[in-house]
A and B are shown apart, each in its own frame.
Chain A
């Protein structure tokens, strides 16, 4: 008798059940995606390849005189900015300069403070690349692509 009674009980319709299941899966997938995305490092691209590849093609000359670092770009990769590292004692401190893009054959002068005569300067080129979200971002090349000059 009770079995027959239970058979008349109405549950949620198959459509609602499907919608609920899909919603649950979408919410769970979103949470997992947001969590997992943080483990993937942001990549910066230039000329449709990782920007570190472009750093190897940077060709430039650097010189220093009276608080001014002069950069001459002799390569095809535009230099967005530079980082000037000053080696003092057993430490290196980098100074950031205002960005000014230097293209092939052009020269740019950057005023840098805190340099004393005889200091070793490490000039690191900074390139402009595009992140996966389309945002433009500066990327400092590695020490291998740097130029070392003496003040």
Chain B
């Protein structure tokens, strides 16, 4: 029994930190927490938000142009005219074009075009229509370029889609506005 009383006395006589020290500690912890949030979490959230919406502006950046009367096939050559938007600020972040050809079974063939990549008139190759020896390039703001894709013998495509490839490697494939490919007129 006396031992118990001794323990009680010991516990009751222990002194905690003072109110002032406790308040200062809490304030310091709060400031440290705010600093961590400001320095790490805020840029992280901002970066994540930007990444999740960066393709929104590019939804209709590339469209199929009809002014040359293409977007058609002649035997195994598919001629596709692609027009870029006039938005110069958007053009600065575009590094390439992805053309998706779709056949009747729904299977697709992807062709990527980047500035200064080598053109080819071989089977499965793509070149700029009218300038087959030039290196490939993507249309500048407002511009139109017609590409000629030489399909493999067994390939027969019904439609095509076009998407921008951003310089950071991201493909903005949010919009699905396919164009039906028809036989070219003479």
Which residues of chain A have a CB within 8 Å of any CB of chain B? 31, 34-35, 38-39, 41, 83, 85, 89-94, 96, 124, 140, 143
Contacts and interface: CB of A to CB of B under 8 A. Distances in A.
A85 B49 contact: no
Interface stretch (B22-30, B97-105, B127-135, B164-172): B127-135
Contact of A85 (B46, B129, B143): B143
26 contacts: A31-B45, A31-B49, A34-B49, A35-B49, A35-B52, A35-B53, A38-B53, A38-B56, A39-B56, A41-B57, A85-B142, A85-B143, A89-B130, A90-B81, A90-B145, A90-B146, A91-B129, A91-B131, A91-B143, A91-B144, A92-B67, A93-B139, A94-B141, A124-B142, A140-B86, A140-B142
A45 B46 CA distance: 28
Contacts of B86: 83, 94, 124, 140
Given A31-B45, A140-B142, A89 B52 contact: no
B40 interface: no
Interface residues of B, number: 27
Given A31-B45, A83-B86, A140-B86, A92 B53 contact: no
